[in-house]
Every structure is written in C-alpha cells, then in structure tokens.
Amino acid sequence: MKLIITCGGTGGHFYPGLTIAQTAKKQEIDVKISLSGKHTQKFAETCKKFQIPCSVQTAFSRPTAKWKLPILGLKVLQDLIRCYRFLGKEKPDAVLGMGSFASFGICFAAKLRRIPLYLHEGNSVVGASNCYLSKFAKKLFLSFNAINKSAIKCETVLTGFPVRTSFVNDSKEQFDRDEICKEMGCDSSKKIVLFFGGSQGAKTLNTRVANAFNSLENSENIQLLHLAGNREEVERLKDLYDNKVNVVLKDYIENMSDCYRIADLAIARGGAASLFELALFSIPTIVIPLPWAADNHQFENAKSINDSANANAVAICNQTEVEAKLPSLLKEFLTDNKSGEEFHHILDGSKSAELIVSEIC
C-alpha cells in the first residue's frame, strides 16, 4: 500500500503527520509526505533526517483583501492542477490530510482522482477546510471531541493527537532530574515552573508572565524556567526580572523532553501539540489561550479537556488577566501539589498514530 500524507502550514500539522509517517514506515507501508505552506524547507530537512520521502508543493496564503480574491482563485486552480498531476504520478492508495488551507489542493485532487481521502483535525473546533473536505472523505480523525460536529459530513474517529515518537519514548525512560536541572541551570531542590508562549504573541505574554511572577510572594521555593522564544527577548526580560535568582531564562531548548521531565507545573498556550505533550508527561498545566487564534480554538481545546473530566483538569487564564490571576493560580497549584494524572488520562496521544494507520490500512 502507498500512502500520501499532506502537511501544510505549521509544526502543528507537520509533526503529527511525520509521526504517522514513521509509524506507517515501521509497518512497511510505502509512505510519502507532501509539504505545503510555511517552513517547507525546514520540514523537508526533518523528513530527510528521519528518512521519510517528501515532496514540496508551491505555497501561497489566503488574502485578507476582497479585491485579491480573483488572484487567490487563479492560484488555487494552478495548485489543484499541480496536485492532480502529482497524484497521477505517485498513484497512492490513500491520501491523509493533516488539516489547514495549505493542504486543500492535494486533498481535493484526491477526490477528483477518486483516491480514498482521510482527514485529521488537531483542534476541538474543526477547521473550515476539513469541514468542506469531509463531504468527500471516508473518515475524519479527531484529537478532541468536536464542538462543531454537525458540520462534519463523514464518519469520525476519536484518535487523539499523534505525539512525536521521541517524546513518547522519553516519557517512559528513567532520567536523572538533578543532572538535567544542573545542565539547564535550575535548582533541583525547588518546584520548577516551565513557561513557554509559542511563536505567536509571545512578547506580550512574556511581559505579563514576568510581571505576575515578580509580584508573587514567598517565591523562594519556586524556580521559573522561562523559554522566551529568541535571544532579543531574553535580553529584554533580564531587565524586567531584574536578575532574579529564581528565574532561568532561555531563548530556546532543542530537547523539550528535558523541560517536560523536570517541570512540576507548566504555563503554556492551548495549541493541541503543546497540550498533548504536557499531558503525556502528566504535568499540571495553566493554559493561557492565544486570544486571536482562529475560532478561539485554543480556549476551546482547554475547555474540552475540562468538560471531559467534568472538573478542572487544567486551569484556564485569559491573557488580559495574567497579572491579576496567575500569582494565585501558581500558589494554588504548587501548594496543593496538584497532579497531572487526570490530564494525562484524558489526552493520551501515545497510541494515536498507530490507531490512525490501522484505520487507513
């Protein structure tokens, strides 16, 4: 069997697609990834590293101005012709779309060529592209219970979000907490709070979290590991934190597993990848959703977790309320020694890739 996995846009689409491709390859399935949208060259290098064949498609963005819509129509038509020819050359037995507008061409071309189409949705709000394509798909794989399920026109399967194989392996292995803390410059005798804000809106959130942490009373037994996103932010935040000894600033960590392993609590956005990774390591989490995320999906992702638990498995804090509410949330979580076991039980993505491959093949 030959499977084409089309990944477009961001790492939230690419990395679960890569995980599924790795799983399919282990089962001796002929698999290839089709890349489109942003960061295609970076993702192509990652595919090469893991020996997964890939093809890079032409990328274009949706325009915001109405007068540009005819240009978009022309680009979509050109992309569709390219994708139709690409599938004619590859002759796959199935196509799996990982979501996003950038993957639309391959998925629609699969419909035109009568190739079985499968879809994956990372968020609790199924995106517009997946809703439309579901009319032609055999199945749509869900990471969360969909809140707009009535918009889906095909069979759905709740599979969860495929977490990277390396994270799954690392979550099961024994590790030396003291050694990892030493390497990162953290004090292993303290409660470690991991904060990372992602690439969108991180500067505003960095500032708000820093202000909240600065106002936290009796913080001597807490160590904040703050991943700022880039070197410029690290330098700016040094002044904001005024060189607090219980704050460790990093621009970026290559091996996030080490951060997850030592964290007693996390503060993060509400993207599906981050939530499933944090749940995998059973880390109690405070979610600060990106306010302008499409369809407010980051808030809905976190809310879906709590709805499933019928309790507050994660805490949700609006970005505008960080300075006011985060100090008390930190105190509550750390004083009560809250566990992330319920969070882990609700979002277990360790077997998601295997389930998706079994549904397709």
Residue 130 has pLDDT above 90, yes or no: yes
Q: Are residues 32 and 134 in the same domain?
A: yes
Q: Where residue 72 sits, what CATH number does that domain have?
A: 3.40.50.2000
Q: For 55-64, 87-96, 263-272, which range has the lowest pLDDT when averaged over its residues?
A: 55-64
Determine contact, residues 126/146, Cβ cutoff 8 Å: yes
Mean pLDDT, rounded, for 89-105: 92
Domain count, the chain: 2
Domain boundary among 105, 139, 158: 158
In a domain, residue 251? The reply is: yes
Domain boundary among 139, 158, 177: 158
Instruction: State the Cα–Cα distance between residues 115 and 308, nearest whole angstrom.
Output: 35
Cβ contacts of 25 within 8 Å, gap of 6 or more: 31, 51, 52
In a domain, residue 352? The reply is: no
pLDDT level of residue 64 (50, 70, 90 thresholds): low
Predicted local distance difference test score (pLDDT) of residue 273? 94
The boundaries of the domain holding residue 252 are 167-346
Pairing label, strands 191-196, 94-97: unpaired
Q: Are residues 185 and 330 in the same domain?
A: yes
In a domain, residue 197? The reply is: yes
Mean pLDDT, rounded, for 51-69: 73
Q: Are residues 129 and 200 in the same domain?
A: no
Instruction: State the Cα–Cα distance between residues 1 and 25, nearest whole angstrom.
Output: 11
What percentage of the chain reaches a pLDDT higher than 70? 95
Residue 131 has pLDDT above 60, yes or no: yes
pLDDT level of residue 61 (50, 70, 90 thresholds): low
Predicted local distance difference test score (pLDDT) of residue 268? 96
Mean pLDDT, rounded, for 164-181: 95
Q: Are residues 134 and 212 in the same domain?
A: no
Residue 68 has pLDDT above 70, yes or no: no
Domain boundary among 123, 158, 193: 158
Q: Are residues 131 and 229 in the same domain?
A: no
Residue 337 has pLDDT above 90, yes or no: no
Cβ contacts of 38 within 8 Å, gap of 6 or more: 9, 10, 59, 102
Mean pLDDT, rounded, for 13-29: 96
In a domain, residue 358? The reply is: no
Residue 328 has pLDDT above 60, yes or no: yes
What percentage of the chain reaches a pLDDT higher than 90? 75
Q: Are residues 232 and 253 in the same domain?
A: yes
Residue 75 has pLDDT above 80, yes or no: no
Instruction: State the Cα–Cα distance between residues 37 and 57, nearest whole angstrom.
Output: 8
Q: For 74-78, 85-89, 199-203, 256-260, which range has the lowest pLDDT when averaged over its residues?
A: 199-203
Q: Are residues 121 and 187 in the same domain?
A: no
Instruction: State the Cα–Cα distance between residues 310 and 343, nearest whole angstrom.
Output: 12
Whether the model clears a pTM of 0.75, i.e. scores above it, the answer is: yes
Predicted local distance difference test score (pLDDT) of residue 72? 64
Mean pLDDT, rounded, for 315-322: 95
Mean pLDDT, rounded, for 273-295: 94
Q: Are residues 19 and 134 in the same domain?
A: yes
Predicted local distance difference test score (pLDDT) of residue 53? 96
In a domain, residue 331? The reply is: yes
Q: Are residues 281 and 187 in the same domain?
A: yes
In a domain, residue 353? The reply is: no
Span 37-59, pLDDT tens digits? 777 888 999 999 999 999 987 65
More confident residue, 97 or 203: 97
For residue 108, what is the enclosing H or E element?
A: helix 104-112
pLDDT level of residue 74 (50, 70, 90 thresholds): confident
Determine contact, residues 28/7, Cβ cutoff 8 Å: no
Q: What angle do CA 264, 269, 271 make, to 5 degrees?
A: 115
Predicted local distance difference test score (pLDDT) of residue 69? 62
In the predicted model, what is the mean pLDDT of the chain? 91
Give, as one character, the DSSP assignment of residue 69.
H
Instruction: State the Cα–Cα distance between residues 306 and 316, nearest whole angstrom.
Output: 10
Residue 63 has pLDDT above 60, yes or no: no
Q: Are residues 129 and 190 in the same domain?
A: no
Determine contact, residues 276/283, Cβ cutoff 8 Å: no
In a domain, residue 80? The reply is: yes
Q: Are residues 175 and 152 in the same domain?
A: no
Q: Are residues 147 and 230 in the same domain?
A: no
In a domain, residue 210? The reply is: yes
Cβ contacts of 241 within 8 Å, gap of 6 or more: 210, 213, 214, 247, 249
